[in-house]
Structure 1
Amino acid sequence: MAIWSNNYHQPMTNSAFQFNQSITIDDRLLTADLKGSIAHAKMLGAQSILDKNEAATLVQELEKMLSQYQKGTLEIDYSEEDIHSFIEAELIRRLGKIGKKVHTGRSRNDQVAIALKIYTLEEILELKKLILKVIKALCEKAQEHLHTVMPAYTHLQRAQAVTYGHYLMAYVEMMRRDVGRLLDLEKRIQEGMPLGSGALATSTFPLDREYMADELGFTSPSLNSIDGVSDRDYSIEMLGVLSTIVMHLSRYAEETILWTSQEFQFIQLADSYSTGSSIMPQKKNADVHELIRGKTGRVYGDLMNVMIIMKGLPLAYNKDMQEEKEALFDAIDTVKLILSLIPGALEASKINQDRMYQAANEGFLNATDCADYLTSKGLPFREAYQITGNILAYCHEQEKTLETLNLAEYQKYSDLFTSDIYEVIDLTNCVYRRRVMGGPAPERVQEHIDCVTKWLNQL
């Protein structure tokens, strides 16, 4: 027969308590927890699980705490284990015996689960607002540069001419997809309200979970109580969306870093978004953009952290999940900070239009247009491609460009060339003639901006 040690009922050591506590991390869940607790208390009264006056007293005091917190007058006791314990302890301190009834029919497990979901939904709204500001800033900058010709790249080699406006709108599309992913996630979170799941097997009290779901703005309760308290898919998905967002921003930051270098000189950063060297007075470093690029790995690490936490957990709740919150909060904070910087940095950047055009005018970016010219005259594209390649080899040998070749030199390679070739290979015409939907012609980019503006106004 097993006999418990006399030490079994000893209080937790301070070091073990500090290791176990999470209130210094999850205190940001206070608002979300209060909202969940208010819905739970209302339901307890509506279902006559508690006396209606008692339930009303609980709701009134919880709402008072919410108001005090929003005003900055609610003092959190950080000696409590977590924010959920603090709220219950504070209710008991204020209401005595009635405060002890708030936890009727509820477990810490579903209490934490609903608070995390409410918090995540609120952060989705904040992230969406920040992304929309970035999209608006990109559109405004693109509007200014519908006619700013620049080289576009593949393999980091100059490929074809576009405009800076066209380039910026590529990032607009990335960010619009990010908004779509957030909205998709929002819908999935709203379909599984976990409150009422209890520890893992609901409750013997006649809880009305549909009532609570409606109170909290969810479309339905979770359909399995075990999954209700152990589900962290939405957290992983949120981290995945955040990783995609920050990946897009990192690509933008990387190109900005390249383009502000002496080798490119496409963009000049304002001092307000760059730093100087501690020893070399001629240097201006794109430190803000480098940190954006660097912090991307941090968000990826948060995602991997939670994936590893969850991969081996048996159902249902396990204390390991406490670690998930810190990673989620860190990723949200990091991405929000980065998003908040982009509009200002974009506005403060100076575009060197002359240098962009000069770079586009180097490297035979109009070679495809030359081949297309021959194709338009009836020559199969592969033959036109080969002839253009031979012309480019000749240009390299003679240190000429397609623009400086005379007509006789062109006609040595094909008698299909006539004087209209010079109009076709004009760099600006190369851009303006690409009027296919989604292309760099100014009218197409303008249509794209108008489409996005309409989309923004409808959100």
Structure 2
Amino acid sequence: MAKLWEKGYNLDEVIERFTVGSDYVLDRELAGADAVASIAHVRMLGSVGLLEGDDAAALERELRGIARTAARGELTINREDEDCHTVLEALLTEALGEAGKRVHTGRSRNDQVTAATRLFTREYLLDITDSGLALVHRLLERAREEELTVMPGRTHLQIAMLSTFGLWLGSWAEQLLDDLEELETVARLNNRSPLGSAASYGVPLPLDRELTAHLLGFDSIQNNVLAVQHSRGTLDGRIVSVLAGIAMTLGRLAQDLILFSLPELGYVQLPLELCSGSSIMPQKRNPDVLELLRSRASLVEGWAMQCRGIVRDLPSGYNRDLQDTKEPLFRALHAVREELAVALILVDRLEPQREAMRSALNAEVFATDYAYDLVRQGVPFREAYLRAAREYGDRPLPDATEALRARTATGTPGNLNLGEPRGRAEALRKISRRRRREHRRALRDLVGGDLSLTSGDGERRNR
């Protein structure tokens, strides 16, 4: 298959293998989005008189077929093809002759791949946001259910103060909301059309960049054509950095659950269907899923560092280095979407051992409460602190439920104020629903029906 840049000479085979890398494999995932973006490009070319109506209609018809074939994972891309853009143009030329050769008018592979990547990423970020919000919802539901389930709170892993399982659950819901609000920022930056920027400097044609942006469901164009190339790789790094934050939150939640499920604590239990066993020790009930959630956080952080390292010292304009940010971006998107699905199952089926939590309450848990009992009697805090340090072990244990009621300040174990995170989640849900509607509207209009740009992509890459 002829390369898009071919000018009558053959590239050295070793050089070709090196420069193509894994791009042709990754592009099996990206091809559907590339075909969809190409339909919008063709419509725009027709609207400004750069394509005859019959040619535009024929190109659109063929591109729809390619988009559906790619979505089914049936589009073949080989190393010698280099990328999905080459395959797309070759298929169009084979089917339509001269008309197929017109599809690349007014664009470069640079804005072509950036547009496809942003569409692909947009669908992933929508899925990740929705999965994250589903997990937040379940965490808050369970926090309400466990509002009065008392347990020791810990600092430095040592027993510290009275807490509740509801406070613990709600804390991770709010941490994940912080991550999702940050994700919305990078999703907004991603949702700008790069088409028309070409290889960094635009083209001397009257392209309607705003039209392609609208057709593809983008919020706007990315204005400065050179800034489009500056943002490529940089935006990938920002997105993966936020995904690393989500993965870290899930990893830390998993670490807590590993500790809570230790036989020495026994605060929670995972049902058998979420645990694996040992090939030698018949009694083992291993929390492998939690350990892998914990380790995946490091993988995603590594991919974020890859993206940032690649773009750190690049000069202006397109540089081939940017090809290498695609794989860490794709891996991070796939991993975090999967991790959120796993975490939802874990939180949903988690079995709190309420008596074990209550039984773990000891005099140390209430030492600070004793100090504040003295403060309420008029003793200065520093004096009360020293007295409580000497005397807390000699006092009978107070009633934990009564001690909980004394915690009335907003967000404390006695007043979780779950309405606040619910409101934040609903605000994010509204943004996600609007963006999802625009995404679906664009795909239906361009392809003539529903189409997923990301279904089964991880499996296709590994075939």
Q: TM-score, normalised by structure 2?
A: 0.86
Question: CA offsets per residue over residues 10-56 of structure 1, 9 Å max, x none?
Answer: 52244433332211112211122112111111111110012122222
Structure 1: where are the runs of 5+ without partners? 1-7, 405-424
Report what 2:455 is aligned to: none
By how many angstroms is 1:447 displaced? 4.5
Report what 2:344 is aligned to: 343
Q: 1:346 to 1:324 in 2, by over 3 A?
A: same
After the TM superposition, which segments of 4 or more aligned residues of structure 1 sit over 6 Å from their partners? Answer: none
Taking the aligned partners of 1:357 and 1:31, their CA distance within structure 2 comes to 54
SS of match in other structure, 1:205: coil
Matched, 1:58 2:59: yes
Q: Is the 8 A contact 1:143 1:449 kept in 2?
A: no
Among the aligned pairs, what percent are the same residue? 34
Taking the aligned partners of 2:37 and 2:430, their CA distance within structure 1 comes to 31
Q: 1:458 to 1:200 in 2, by over 3 A?
A: closer
RMSD: 2.1
By how many angstroms is 1:458 displaced? 4.9
Tell me which amino acid in the other structure corresponds to 1:374: L
Report what 1:18 is aligned to: 17
Q: TM-score, normalised by structure 1?
A: 0.86
Matched, 1:427 2:397: no
Taking the aligned partners of 2:259 and 2:252, their CA distance within structure 1 comes to 11
Taking the aligned partners of 1:334 and 1:449, their CA distance within structure 2 comes to 26
By how many angstroms is 1:363 displaced? 4.5
Taking the aligned partners of 1:456 and 1:436, their CA distance within structure 2 comes to 26
Question: CA offsets per residue over residues 235-277 of structure 1, 9 Å max, x none?
Answer: 1110111010011001001111111112211111122221122
Correspondence list, 1:94-113, <5 A: 94-113=95-114
Taking the aligned partners of 1:384 and 1:172, their CA distance within structure 2 comes to 35
Q: Is the 8 A contact 2:134 2:344 kept in 1?
A: yes
Question: CA offsets per residue over residues 175-198 of structure 1, 9 Å max, x none?
Answer: 1112211211122223x4211111
Q: 1:261 to 1:33 in 2, by over 3 A?
A: same
Correspondence list, 1:100-139, <5 A: 100-139=101-140
Q: 1:448 to 1:188 in 2, by over 3 A?
A: closer
Report what 1:411 is aligned to: none
Tell me which amino acid in the other structure corresponds to 1:258: L
Q: Is the 8 A contact 1:146 1:445 kept in 2?
A: no
Report what 2:211 is aligned to: 211
By how many angstroms is 1:9 displaced? 6.0
Matched, 1:372 2:372: yes
By how many angstroms is 1:73 displaced? 7.8
Report what 1:356 is aligned to: 357
Report what 2:436 is aligned to: none
Taking the aligned partners of 2:222 and 2:417, their CA distance within structure 1 comes to 45
Tell me which amino acid in the other structure corresponds to 2:209: R
SS of match in other structure, 1:26: helix
Tell me which amino acid in the other structure corresponds to 1:383: E
Q: Is the 8 A contact 1:375 1:384 kept in 2?
A: yes
Find the partner of 2:396 among 390, 403, 413.
403
Taking the aligned partners of 2:90 and 2:179, their CA distance within structure 1 comes to 40
SS of match in other structure, 2:246: helix
Matched, 1:439 2:438: no
Question: CA offsets per residue over residues 101-143 of structure 1, 9 Å max, x none?
Answer: 0000111111111111222212110111110121122123223
By how many angstroms is 1:224 displaced? 2.0
Taking the aligned partners of 1:92 and 1:312, their CA distance within structure 2 comes to 39
Taking the aligned partners of 1:432 and 1:87, their CA distance within structure 2 comes to 66
Tell me which amino acid in the other structure corresponds to 1:382: R
Tell me which amino acid in the other structure corresponds to 2:18: F
Q: Is the 8 A contact 1:166 1:445 kept in 2?
A: no
Taking the aligned partners of 2:13 and 2:99, their CA distance within structure 1 comes to 30
Taking the aligned partners of 2:183 and 2:299, their CA distance within structure 1 comes to 20
Q: Is the 8 A contact 1:153 1:159 kept in 2?
A: yes
By how many angstroms is 1:207 displaced? 0.9
Count of aligned positions: 421
Report what 1:407 is aligned to: none
Report what 2:155 is aligned to: 154
Q: Is the 8 A contact 2:177 2:421 kept in 1?
A: no
Q: 1:310 to 1:444 in 2, by over 3 A?
A: closer
Q: Which has the larger radius of gyration?
A: 1
SS of match in other structure, 2:148: coil
SS of match in other structure, 1:276: coil
Q: Is the 8 A contact 2:133 2:429 kept in 1?
A: no
Taking the aligned partners of 2:196 and 2:428, their CA distance within structure 1 comes to 38
SS of match in other structure, 2:195: coil
Report what 1:198 is aligned to: 198
Report what 2:461 is aligned to: none
By how many angstroms is 1:230 displaced? 3.7
Report what 1:178 is aligned to: 179
